[in-house]
Amino acid sequence: MRKGALPRELDLRGLAAREADISGEAALTDLGRLVNAGVGLAAPAVAAFEFRRDEEGRYVVEAQIKAEVVLECQRCLGEMTQILETRTVMACIWNDEDAAELPPSYEPLIVQETANLSDIVEEELLLAIPASPMHAEDCITEVQRTALGKQDVCIDSEGRKESPFAVLAKLKS
């Protein structure tokens, strides 16, 4: 895989006609929407693109992207890293109407005369981010554990946990 930045302003249809392959890296500075979403990168995202035409004459872009992103764990609110890997097969189209005519195996990629590969990488990473990222292991902090341990649990005379409504009834009287 080629090291270095992905090229900008490419004619994707021309690359597909020539069946070209391009690979490279996208740094966080090239991915502004990712930054605005509160996502960081532990290292530049690595991407490989294959351009070709299918049997129907469509211009097709196959993208494989791998990145180690830095997210906020929704359980402990601490920083965590997660590896995202995507593989997408897209067909170049001019407008939304053309997207309706694509077979389900293709994702629509609306492009004009030229396109920026970093924009495609950014879009795919944004789509791959989990809705509620959490550490794989138990990540409750000691402060949280202590707070959870201090919850009052009322046990009746037979050793059963009392209903919260029974506790409220006792408080009311």
Q: How many CA atoms lie within 13 A of 37 on its CB side?
A: 20
* Whole-number Å distance between alpha carbons of 117 and 48: 10
How much is the pTM? 0.76
Q: Tens-digit pLDDT profile for the chain (173 aa)?
A: 456 788 888 999 999 999 999 999 999 888 999 989 989 999 999 999 999 999 999 999 999 999 999 999 988 888 999 999 999 999 999 888 888 899 999 999 998 888 899 999 999 999 999 999 988 877 776 776 677 665 555 555 666 666 767 767 777 77
Query: For residue 99, is it within any domain?
Result: yes
Query: For residue 21, is it within any domain?
Result: yes
* Whole-number Å distance between alpha carbons of 159 and 109: 64
Query: For residue 166, is it within any domain?
Result: no
- Domain total for the chain? 1
CB 88, CB 62: distance < 8 Å: yes
The domain of 122 spans 12-137
Contacts of 67 (CB under 8 A, 6+ apart): 41, 43, 44, 45, 46, 83, 84, 121, 125
Q: Three-state DSSP class for 11?
A: coil
Query: For residue 73, is it within any domain?
Result: yes
